[in-house]
Amino acid sequence: MKKYCLIIVVLLLDCNQEKNNNNKSATVVKTEESKAETVDLIVYDYNTLEPLLNKKDGKVYVINFWATWCAPCVKELPYFETLNKEYQSKNVEVILVSLDFPKQYEKKLKPFIVNKNLKSRVVALNDVDSNTWIPKVNKDWSGAIPVTLIYKNDKRAFYEKSFNLEELKKEVNKFLN
């Protein structure tokens, strides 16, 4: 019984914390523009991105393809951020591959990275010949985003869908011993 109450108290505290965070981010916005200029964004084409999708170093990589204009992508980003933070010690790394248009890198993507305080590695993929590279990521991918690739050495799983935190953890756990 006490345990249940404790859980609820924790949940309530959690909500409060979120509120505080929101207030904090409001003050960050002011300096957002100047900070965005300092964001180092590596832009890949598919050939140079491919090695990131095929490492064999025993680490679990969670690769999420997203864009700032994609509402379901933006909605699930916090879950990937949480995963990256909580699973760092378990040798898991999240890489967020942005498919924003190049002309939006300065205007939207970099300010977004600063504003949302993204801690996971964010890279950009700029390769218009999607018919060539989409099937290389996964043969069943229709091209819709968000999609997520989880891999460790030769074991791979591909998800053309949105995640919540619980399910994301469940899928990543399958890659942990």
Partner 1 sequence: MKKTVKLMLLTAIVFGVWSFTKTEKAIDNGYKVGDYVKDFKLENIDGKMVSMSDFEKAKGFIITFTCNTCPYAVAYEDRIEALNKMYEEKGYLVIAIMPNNVKVKPEDGMKYMRARAEEKGFTFPYLMDEGQRVYPQFGATKTPHIYVVKKTDKGNMVKYIGAIDDNYQNADEVKNKYVEDAVNALLNGKEVNVTETKAIGCSIKV
- Report the interface residues with partner 1, using CB under 8 A: 1, 4-5, 7-8, 67, 69-72, 99, 101-102, 128-131, 134-135, 141-146, 160-164, 166-167
Residue with tokens 């010949």: 129
Determine how β-strand 92-98 pairs with β-strand 121-125: parallel
**Cβ closest to partner 1, residue 55 vs residue 75:** 75
**Cβ closest to partner 1, residue 37 vs residue 140:** 140
User: Whole-number minimum distance, CB 2 to partner 1, in Å?
Assistant: 10
**Cβ closest to partner 1, residue 155 vs residue 161:** 161
Q: Which two tokens stand for residue 7?
A: 């859980």
User: Whole-number minimum distance, CB 165 to partner 1, in Å?
Assistant: 10
Per-residue buried b or exposed e for 103-119, using 16+ beta carbons within 10 Å of the residue's own CB: ebbeebbbbbbbebebe
User: Whole-number minimum distance, CB 134 to partner 1, in Å?
Assistant: 4
Residue 164 DSSP SS3: coil
Q: How far apart are CA 44 and CA 60, in angstroms?
A: 21
User: Whole-number minimum distance, CB 169 to partner 1, in Å?
Assistant: 12
**Cβ closest to partner 1, residue 55 vs residue 72:** 72
**Cβ closest to partner 1, residue 37 vs residue 50:** 50
Residue 120 DSSP SS3: coil
Q: How far apart are CA 13 and CA 17, in angstroms?
A: 6
User: Whole-number minimum distance, CB 5 to partner 1, in Å?
Assistant: 7
Determine how β-strand 60-66 pairs with β-strand 147-152: antiparallel
